[in-house]
Amino acid sequence: MADFTPIPKNIEESNRSVRVFVSYGKDAWNRLKKNKVAVASLVFIIFVILFGFAGSVFFPNYTKQNLLNTFAPPGSPGAPLGTDELGRDLLSRLVRGTKISISIGLTVATINIIIGSVYGGIAGYFGGAADMIMMRIVDIVISIPEMIILILLLTIISKGMPTLILALCLTGWTGTARLVRGQVLQLREQEYILSARVLGAGKFFIILRHLLPNAIDPIIVRFAMSIPGVIFAEAFLSYIGLGVSIPDASWGNLAQVGSNQFPNYLWLFFMPATLFSLTMLAFNLLGDGLRDALDPKQRW
Amino acid sequence: MSNINSNTDVNHSNPLLEVRSLKKYFKVGRRQFLKAVDGITFHIYQGETFGLVGESGCGKSTTGRAIARLYSLTGGEILYDGMDISKFKGKAATRYAFDVQMVFQDPYASLDPRMTVESIVAEGMKIHRMYNSEQTRAKVYELLEKVGLNKEHAARFPHEFSGGQRQRIGIARALAVNPKFLVCDEPVSALDVSIQAQIINLLRDLQREFNLTYLFIAHDLSLVKYLSDRIGVMYLGSLLEVAPAEELYKNPLHPYTRALLSAIPVPDPAEESERTRILLQGDVQSPINTPEQCKFYSRCKYAEARCRERIPPLVETTEGHWIACALNKELNTDAYAI
């Protein structure tokens, strides 16, 4: 029996689990980090945001015309990405366009998520007649074609950023409202919510500690996924001349200017279009990665 | 009163909880009411375990939840220590939350998946700001040890545990506010049989240690018999029979209770093949807009005209043995023998 060695005295010590405490958010972050595509997308998005916001400090002259230097090709002195038909530096305009498009995308997506969450949360939590009336209003808003509202608003009220943001917010919150309402409706009857109520928790405590953390994942994913949609709507409206108008720049009107010169001065079209497309792709891939990372059933 | 299962000192002069003609209807349509609980009356003494049995949908859980103040009542009242619990507000409500806690049925749905075991168990202490963070943590560790887990489990999330362990966490959460009364809503019906025994024994040990009073809701009759001092049998929102555990199993009076008890399988195969089971005809009727008559009328083999006159009230036939049947004491006679 010499093959067996006695267990050391401090069996307690050897049995102790060595797991360190990992908070929920940190854990999700660790899982996101493992997803290379999502990380690359995140890095790219950060780069684009820096390009737009920090870049505007270095390249502020996006309206400065120089009719002696029109259609300069990329690599020209003083215009690394070339110039457009009025001799404006494309790099400066691209920086400005990025700043405008990203700002609109983030602002509108944030407003939509907040309005949608509060609206859907109230409808779901209180239920009954309030829920019924509120969701019928959502149905009505959804049933009106979005583009008609947008185009009507932009033609009636002045064109420009504030109107554009207002118009995009007016219709964009409904999807989030439905999502959050469904979430809250489902969570409200969970036994852990009942348990919190038995323990004497107030409404505020339950909403903050249980409903919000459990409903936040799809909201975050939806936020990431809705930004490209908003940017796309903005680009589309600017492209048809209803959004941000020249001499100001956005991805939409830069592409529109470029497409006018297509195919003679390809860079005028391909520079903004490529940046735009890659950013859309990055937001969608990040959204996918977030959805995977935030799913509690995928832990370990 | 025979009291074979008495684990603790039951104080029979002092009902801790009194339920008086409790009614809870749910509106399910225009003028359609689901009568989940339809006028039940019982009381629970300090320190005892009161078992509530019945089929699915008979209103046991609704009763438990009403006692835990999760529902507003349609009618009747619930008295705790002689005070009407529906009138509790502010401080009184908080005190009631300290005293009366609940253990839930589904160990997978009753723990917030986003919280660690530590914050789950500490939830009640945090809501009421009972201790500072160090004391809270110490108390959490102590509770985890009490329910058979250890402090290494505190940093984990619910999904890392088995059903039985989760149920232990649920029990620890309920005990965290030092309750006197626990509503156990089918705490073991979602668990394996071997795990059931562990949890039941844990509940019994805790009852002895903390002098707890239990309302134990279940549909497993042998389980309830093992754990309970007194048992109430529910059917379609009515309480049909209340008796001490031993008495109920030896001498069931109500026709429904007799049928229910005859459904318990006997471990001995020879005996099992010999015995006759009472087979009920038909299905449980819908609980929506049930008429004001004996709820068991449609399936009772002794049904008579007088059973339709009203919902029969609970009447004491022998000491401590109550039945709600229009035939009442006649059930004791040979004409109605099993």
pLDDT digits (tens, 9 = 90+) for B270-319: 888 888 888 887 777 888 888 888 888 888 888 888 888 888 888 888 88
pLDDT number for residue B12: 74
Q: Where are the domains of chain B?
A: 12-112+181-195+211-336
Average pLDDT (B136-144) is 92
Alpha-carbon gap: B323 to the closest alpha carbon of chain A (Å):
31
Give the contacts of A195 (CB within 8 A, at least 6 positions apart). B102, B104, B110, B123, B170, B173, B174
Q: Does residue B11 or residue A204 have the better pLDDT?
A: A204
Whether residue B6 is predicted with pLDDT greater than 50 in this model: the reply is no
- 3-state SS record for A237-263: HHHCCCCCCCCCCCHHHHHHHHHHCCC
Chain A positions in Cβ-Cβ contact with residue B114 (cut-off 8 Å): 24, 210, 213-214, 296
Q: Note the maximum CA span of chain A.
A: 98
Chain A positions in Cβ-Cβ contact with residue B155 (cut-off 8 Å): 19-22
**From residue B69, how far is each of B21, B89, B94, B265 by CA, in Å?**
16, 11, 12, 36
Chain B positions in Cβ-Cβ contact with residue A296 (cut-off 8 Å): 113-114, 157, 159
Q: Which residue of B has its CA nearest to A28?
A: B114
Q: Quick: pLDDT tens for A228-258.
A: 888 888 888 888 878 788 888 888 888 888 8
Q: Do A296 and B157 touch (CB under 8 A)?
A: yes
Whole-angstrom distance, CA of residue B63 vs CA of residue B236: 12
Whether residue A92 is predicted with pLDDT greater than 90 in this model: the reply is no
Burial A206-244 (b: 16+ CB within 10 A, else e): bbebbbbbbbbbbbbbbbbbbbbbbbbbbbebbbeebbb
Cβ atoms of A276 and A232 within 8 Å: the answer is no
For the whole model, what pTM was predicted? 0.79
Q: Which residue of B has its CA nearest to A128?
A: B27
Cβ atoms of A194 and B65 within 8 Å: the answer is yes
pLDDT number for residue B140: 93
Q: Quick: pLDDT tens for A127-140.
A: 888 999 999 999 99
Q: Do A299 and B68 touch (CB under 8 A)?
A: no
* pLDDT-derived band at B1, boundaries 50, 70, 90: very low
ipTM: 0.86
pLDDT number for residue B291: 85
Average pLDDT (B138-144) is 93
Cα angle B260, B107, B203 (rounded to 5 degrees) comes to 65
A-B interface: how many C-beta pairs under 8 angstroms?
82
* pLDDT-derived band at B4, boundaries 50, 70, 90: very low
Cβ atoms of B34 and B24 within 8 Å: the answer is no
**From residue A131, how far is each of A78, A135, B189 by CA, in Å?**
60, 6, 34
Chain A positions in Cβ-Cβ contact with residue B104 (cut-off 8 Å): 191, 194-195
pLDDT number for residue B50: 94
Q: Do A21 and B69 touch (CB under 8 A)?
A: no
pLDDT number for residue A177: 93
Q: Which residue reads 């939409």 in tokens?
A: A252
Whole-angstrom distance, CA of residue B300 vs CA of residue B312: 14
Whether residue B31 is predicted with pLDDT greater than 70 in this model: the reply is yes
CA nearest neighbour of B60 among B244, B304, B263, B234: B234
- Find which of A84-88, A198-202, A281-285 is predicted with most confidence, using mean pLDDT: A281-285
Mean pLDDT of chain B: 87
pLDDT number for residue A2: 67
Whether residue B210 is predicted with pLDDT greater than 80 in this model: the reply is yes
Q: Do B106 and A194 touch (CB under 8 A)?
A: no
Whether residue B42 is predicted with pLDDT greater than 90 in this model: the reply is yes
Average pLDDT (A63-86) is 81
Give the contacts of A9 (CB within 8 A, at least 6 positions apart). none
Chain B positions in Cβ-Cβ contact with residue A190 (cut-off 8 Å): 109-110
Q: Which residue of A has its CA nearest to B109?
A: A191
Percentage of the residues of chain B whose pLDDT score is greater than 90: 38
Whether residue B327 is predicted with pLDDT greater than 50 in this model: the reply is yes
Pick the CATH number of A33-69+81-298 from 3.40.50.10860, 3.20.20.80, 1.10.3720.10, 3.90.1580.10: 1.10.3720.10
Q: How many helices (H) and strands (E) does chain A have?
A: 14, 0
Cis bond upstream, residue A263 (ω within 30): yes
Whole-angstrom distance, CA of residue A121 vs CA of residue A210: 13
Whole-angstrom distance, CA of residue A252 vs CA of residue B298: 73
Chain B positions in Cβ-Cβ contact with residue A213 (cut-off 8 Å): 112, 114-115
Whether residue A158 is predicted with pLDDT greater than 80 in this model: the reply is no
Whether residue B239 is predicted with pLDDT greater than 70 in this model: the reply is yes
Percentage of the residues of chain B whose pLDDT score is greater than 70: 95
Give the residue numbers in A contacting B (CB under 8 Å), as ranges. 16-17, 19-22, 24, 190-192, 194-201, 205, 209-210, 213-214, 296-297, 299-300
Q: Does residue A174 or residue A12 have the better pLDDT?
A: A174
CA nearest neighbour of A283 among A237, A230, A238, A236: A230
Average pLDDT (A217-227) is 88
Alpha-carbon gap: B151 to the closest alpha carbon of chain A (Å):
10
Cβ atoms of B158 and B117 within 8 Å: the answer is yes
Average pLDDT (B228-250) is 92
Whether residue A46 is predicted with pLDDT greater than 90 in this model: the reply is yes
Mean pLDDT of chain A: 85
* pLDDT-derived band at A151, boundaries 50, 70, 90: confident
Chain B positions in Cβ-Cβ contact with residue A201 (cut-off 8 Å): 123, 127
Q: Does residue B166 or residue A293 have the better pLDDT?
A: B166
Q: Do B159 and A297 touch (CB under 8 A)?
A: yes
DSSP state of A35: -
Sheet containing B230-235: order of strands:
B100-103, B181-185, B213-218, B49-53, B230-235, B238-244, B321-323, B315-318
CA nearest neighbour of A48 among A111, A107, A109, A101: A101
pLDDT number for residue B214: 94
Average pLDDT (B110-124) is 90
Could you say which of A19, A191, A299 has the minimum Cβ distance to residue B155? A19
* pLDDT-derived band at A297, boundaries 50, 70, 90: low
Could you say which of A192, A201, A300 has the minimum Cβ distance to residue B127? A201
Q: Is the dihedral of CA A37, A42, A47, A51 positive or negative?
A: positive
B1-15, B19-33, B240-254, B286-300: the lowest-pLDDT one: B1-15
For A291, half-sphere exposure in the C-beta direction (CA atoms, 13 angstrom radius) is 12
Q: Which residue reads 């405008």 in tokens?
A: A100
Q: Please give the CATH architecture assigned to the domain spanning B12-112+181-195+211-336.
A: 3-Layer(aba) Sandwich (3.40)
Q: Where are the domains of chain A?
A: 33-69+81-298
Average pLDDT (A256-274) is 86
Chain B positions in Cβ-Cβ contact with residue A191 (cut-off 8 Å): 104-106, 109-110
Whole-angstrom distance, CA of residue A32 vs CA of residue A288: 10
CA nearest neighbour of B233 among B246, B251, B252: B252
Q: Which residue of B has its CA nearest to A211?
A: B112
Average pLDDT (A39-48) is 94
Q: Do B124 and A200 touch (CB under 8 A)?
A: yes
Cβ atoms of A180 and A124 within 8 Å: the answer is yes
Q: Do B97 and A213 touch (CB under 8 A)?
A: no
Chain A positions in Cβ-Cβ contact with residue B97 (cut-off 8 Å): 198-200
Q: Do A300 and B160 touch (CB under 8 A)?
A: yes
